[in-house]
Amino acid sequence: MNDLTPEREERSANLKGLGCSRKRVEDARFTQGKGNYVDDVKMPGMLHGDFVRSPYAHARVVSVNKDAALALDGVVAVLTAEDLAPLNLHWMPTLAGDKQMVLADGKVLFQGQEVAFVVARDRYVAADAVELVEVEYEELPVLTDPFESLKSDVVLREDLAGQTTGPHGPRKHHNHIFTWEQGDETATNQVLESADVVVEESMYYHRTHPCPLETCGCVASMDKVNGKLTLWGTFQAPHVVRTVASMLSGIEEHNIRVISPDIGGGFGNKVGVYPGYICSIVASIVTGQPVKWVEDRMENLMATAFARDYWMTGKIAATKEGKITGLHCQVTADHGGFDACADPTKFPAGFMNICTGSYDIPVAYLAVDGVYTNKAPGGVSYRCSFRVTEAVYFIERMIEVLAIELDMDAAELRRINFIRKEQFPYQSALGWEYDSGDYHTAWDKALKTVDYDGLRKEQAERVEAFKRGETRTLMGIGLSFFTEIVGAGPVKNCDILGMGMFDSCEIRIHPTGSAIARLGTISQGQGHATTFAQILASEIGLSADSITIEEGDTDTAPYGLGTYGSRSTPVAGAAAAMAGRKIRAKAQMIAAYLLEVHDDDVEFDVDRFVVKGVPERFKTMKDIAYAAYNQAIPGLELGLEAVSYYDPPNMTYPFGAYVCVMDIDVDTGVPEIRRFYALDDCGTRINPMIIEGQVHGGLTEALAVALGQEIAYDKMGNVKTATLMDFFLPTAWEVPNFETDHTVTPSPHHPIGAKGVGESPHVGGVPCFSNAVQDAFRAFGLRHTNMPHDHWRIWQTANDLGLHE
Ligand code: PCD
Ligand SMILES: [Cu+]
């Protein structure tokens, strides 16, 4: 049955299943302004909330006077910590096991922290009233540097004073949160002591922010008559929000309905729980009216979850020939005022222990210290699965530095250290089991496509010309090879607030042969309505066009852990395939009955079951769907539905090989990206066009982070980059043409062999852009310089190297 006759090929094409570059079904709605976002939710009598926020990074709140605000026409309520305290809602638990003030309780710990919540008739009155709330502050010393914080007498978290252990073990200092250790320190140190070559480098992966187009927001509506709370919001994990809301409020979970409508980009920013959600719920309960809260851009950049802010020091040991023998990594992680890092519970530094990268490193050790400072809380992935971008940046810089030390070609150094194809499944020194990979094939393909040797020759000639004074531009060749780790689960080691990280799909086939499937994930622009239908189409033999995908409504969708960490394809995508297989198993029995043969005598063929060896005797899936509802088949229940809760046996490990060619104007510091080549291997590809779009998006965000985007603070703790004037968001103007390519190494444990891809281009892209900048100056003695490589910093690098003399 495997030969694809033209007739079978046509039937298969009609399904628009796996591998089809099907156009995104959601785009008809999005491109015509018919999306339905949180801010589109409008209800009769709806009130609007707005925050009074702290102008100080560290201060005592002496008093809050609401009188003038309450006197303003249209103001309904002003909530402070005092109002929330009787409900025990003035603090809330964070995903990292810490707690965070919902509204300032005696002091503030970062600029932009929520102090009071004003509820008014409309958004404008609310904003005016915010100005009328009089808060008296008493300034306290500000700590924005984690190293200083660890030495300071200033106690940031007075609520934790005297607590020598936290949720992740012992605390070494009153501003210390945790130490997380992985690997074998003694063995690693032994290797470092006796190695031919050891290089050490320190690098700062600066603080940045996901900055989605749509900011965070919600509408809370408490129906006191029925006792039901409905919450619309920009949530990347709606079911988790429902469970947490129930636990905090005491409202029974069946009485809470959480709806994530269309979301205008998430990028990790919408995983956590923010004070705005709690305040809106309380305000709706208090006033009996629906309450909307939508933050503005400055609030988003100042107060919602940041990403990175990792200070990393590495030591890498190798033989003279370049074979890596050991790796040591020490991280100081700046978590801001509260530890609200969004990671699976047992991983306080996320999957930073993937920092051995794509290389076969026999021993390694990692230690991460989490530290409190006077900066905003957060620590979300931002297009990376739980600190994987940091890990990949770290190892890809260490490799470059080692190449410099050994005076070796960095591509060759990678090649001789890659985990070999036959070593998979590969057990890493820091505890992961990589499911599959073929790094050498991908690397060779990438280098060949870009004519790597030719580029190096051209680069050497350019350096000579520069030295002769014939040109003022230098050429950088950025390389990166990354291994991602996506798809949390396994429930046995990944949970969020105790909820195992499985995911789910429920499918219902209608009598006329169309279907609806619901999943526990939620698209924020990734195109799930398009791709999940494709997985099902191939599994059940109905066209993707006749399968509706629904996500995000907790009253209808099966419980799931949501969309982040590129987990939808590895986990919910697997659940979809498994649910599809259950449908097919029942369909087989129905087909056998209709065809009057034994169950084993029919086989599935694209969109039908045929009698083995008699292809003209068949029943299509449409026939079968109809029969499922219209015929009493002995021994079979009516209907055609299935549900699957999928606990992945392992994560998936997508990988990729990226090359960036850049020309840098030494006198202006302006880099021009001549070429960017990205080869991604995400296993079985569901929709190549969507994958390409994902790669373009991820690379754009990588360019942003590497070349200028940052959340910067001054010494007083003022956020210097709280508007899009200062926070770099690239537009089509800055973004080069991206060349995409792929290899396919299926995941051995995923039912259709797919791995995630949404985050990969960011994870691989950041080191690639950064390496390109730094490589341009290698011939002039540069070893490492920190991101973001904005024009000024690049100019400064050239200046420091004496290139302006
Ligand atoms: N093999 C394969 C894979 C995949 N795919 C596709 O692609 C996509 C993606 O996927 P994934 O990778 O699985 O992922 P998801 O889970 O779905 O998602 C998530 C991601 O996603 C990305 N992308 C995107 N896009 C858009 N448009 N928007 C958004 O927001 C976003 N975000 C970002 C992020 S950041 Mo985090 O949250 O940080 O953690 S994570 C993330 C989808 O549609 C799917 O289906 C295909 O086709 N194939
Ligand atoms: Cu990350």
DSSP state, residue 302: H
Ligand 1 proximity of 611 Cβ (cutoff 6 Å): no
Mean pLDDT of the chain: 97
Model confidence at 179, in pLDDT bands (50, 70, 90)?
Answer: very high
Average pLDDT value for residue range 154-180: 97
The interface predicted TM-score (ipTM) is 0.99
How far apart (Å, rounded) are the C-alpha atoms in residues 794 and 774?
A: 9
Cα angle 41, 725, 114 (rounded to 5 degrees) comes to: 55
pLDDT for residue 609 is more than 80: yes
Q: What is the pLDDT of residues 276-320, one digit of tens each?
A: 999 999 999 999 999 999 999 999 999 999 999 999 999 999 999
| Cβ(112) – ligand 1 distance below 6 Å | no
Contact 410, 403 (CB under 8 A): yes
- Size of the chain in residues: 805
Cβ contact 577:507 at 8 Å: no
Rounded to the nearest angstrom, the distance between the alpha carbon of 385 and the centre of ligand 2 is 6
pLDDT, position 2:
55
| CA of 360 relative to ligand 2 center, distance in Å | 22
Peptide bond into 489 cis (omega under 30): yes
d(CA 131, CA 121): 16
Q: Which of 769, 791, 2, 761 is closest to 382 using CA atoms? A: 761
List, for residues 87-130, the tens digit of each pLDDT value: 999 999 999 999 999 999 999 999 999 999 999 999 999 999 99
Q: Per-residue pLDDT averaged across 508-518, rounded?
A: 98
**What's residue 566's pLDDT?**
98
Say if CB 776 and CB 795 are below 8 A apart: no
Q: DSSP letters of 603-643?
A: EEETTEEEETTEEEEEEEHHHHHHHHHH---TT--SS-EEE
Q: Is pLDDT above 70 for 356?
A: yes
Pocket test for ligand 1, best of 569, 689, 745 (most atoms within 8 A of CB): 569
Q: What is the CA radius of gyration of the chain?
A: 28
| Average pLDDT score over residue span 591-618 | 97
Amino acid 497: pLDDT: 87
**pLDDT (tens digit per residue) in 369-406:** 999 999 999 999 999 989 999 999 999 999 999 999 99
Q: Ligand 1 test: best mutation among 435, 482, 526, 652, most atoms within 8 Å of CB?
A: 526
Extract the tokens encoding 747.
Answer: 């995941």
Domains of the chain, earliest start first: 6-35+503-646 (3.30.365.10), 38-140+215-263+270-303 (3.90.1170.50), 306-487+651-800 (3.30.365.10)
| Rounded Cα gap, residues 201 and 192, in angstroms | 14
- The pLDDT value recorded for residue 5 is 87
Report pTM.
Answer: 0.98
In terms of Cβ atoms closer than 10 Å to its own Cβ (0-12, 13-18, 19+), residue 204 is middle
Point out which residues pair with 474 in neighbouring strands. 664
pLDDT-derived band at 3, boundaries 50, 70, 90: low
Helix (H) or strand (E) holding 74: none
Active-site residue set: 236, 383-384, 759
Q: How many CB atoms lie within 10 A of CB 72?
A: 17
The region, left, alpha or beta by phi > 0 then psi within -120 to 50, assigned to residue 204 is beta
pLDDT at 21 over 70: yes
Nearest ligand, CA 759: 1
The pLDDT tens digits of the residues spanning 534-553 come to: 999 999 999 999 999 999 99
Per-residue pLDDT, averaged over 230-249, amounts to 96
Closest CA to 178 of 141, 146, 203, 140: 146
